[in-house]
Amino acid sequence: MRTATVERKTRETEIAVSLDLDGAGDCDIETGIGFLDHMLESFGRHSMMDLKVRAEGDLHIDFHHTTEDTGIVIGQAVKKALGDFAGITRFGSALIPMDETLTRVAIDVSNRPYLVWRVKIPSARLGEMDTELFKEWFQAFAQNAGITLHVENLYGENSHHIVESCFKGLARALRQAVTPDERLEGGVASTKGTLSDE
């Protein structure tokens, strides 16, 4: 069972995440930020992981801490569920169109965290959320999941479409990368023989 539950409590946020990488895309998301809930539901659905998120944060200040910390905890849960990374396909990519928008996402689930973010979002806000916070979420997720993540919006005009295509692209690429490769017979897709630092 590739499942994990992670909880994190600080003076700024209290977050609990449970997920199943081999689920059916069932989501139960409550962060207190409507647009972030929408993106995380899309992420869970298109990755086909079951995802439950409960987050309480200092939203009276702004949405930064809750957004970033949610990325941290979901990333930690993905890494925990993967264990030693054995048997997975490892690489994944997706090209996601949404009306006028096209976004490309590529990942390497390698325990080598890195983010390349080539995304310009025309609007400063979506709903009540500052759009600059989406990079913070992807950075936190990549760092804590232990993945190399490249996100590039090739073109687009609608800010909602641009952001959503990034989350859907991550979801589809991750789904591909964590799928077991039967030809590995439980081994690791690496010449080093390991992707784990433990």
Spans of all domains in the chain: 3-184
Structure tokens at 155: 């073109």
Structure tokens at 40: 């995380």
Can you state the angle between helices 64-82 and 133-145, rounded to 10 degrees?
20
Inter-residue contact 118 to 152 (CB < 8 Å): yes
Query: CA 68, 7, 17 angle in degrees (round to 5)?
Result: 70
Residue 198 has pLDDT above 50, yes or no: no
What confidence tens digit (pLDDT) does each residue in 24-47 have? Answer: 999 999 999 999 999 999 999 999
Q: For residue 163, give the amino acid letter.
A: V
Residue 15 has pLDDT above 70, yes or no: yes
Higher pLDDT, 190 or 159: 159
pTM of the model: 0.93
Average pLDDT rounded to a whole number, residues 174-194: 76
Q: For residue 15, give the amino acid letter.
A: I
What are the backbone angles phi and psi of residue 55, rounded to the nearest 5°? -135, 135
Residue 111 to residue 91: CA distance in whole angstroms: 12
The alpha carbon of 98 is separated from its chain's Cα centroid by a whole number of angstroms, namely 19
Residue 112 has pLDDT above 80, yes or no: yes
Average pLDDT rounded to a whole number, residues 128-143: 97
Residue 28 to residue 33: CA distance in whole angstroms: 14
CATH (residue range 3-184): 3.30.230.40
Backbone Cα Rg of the chain: 16
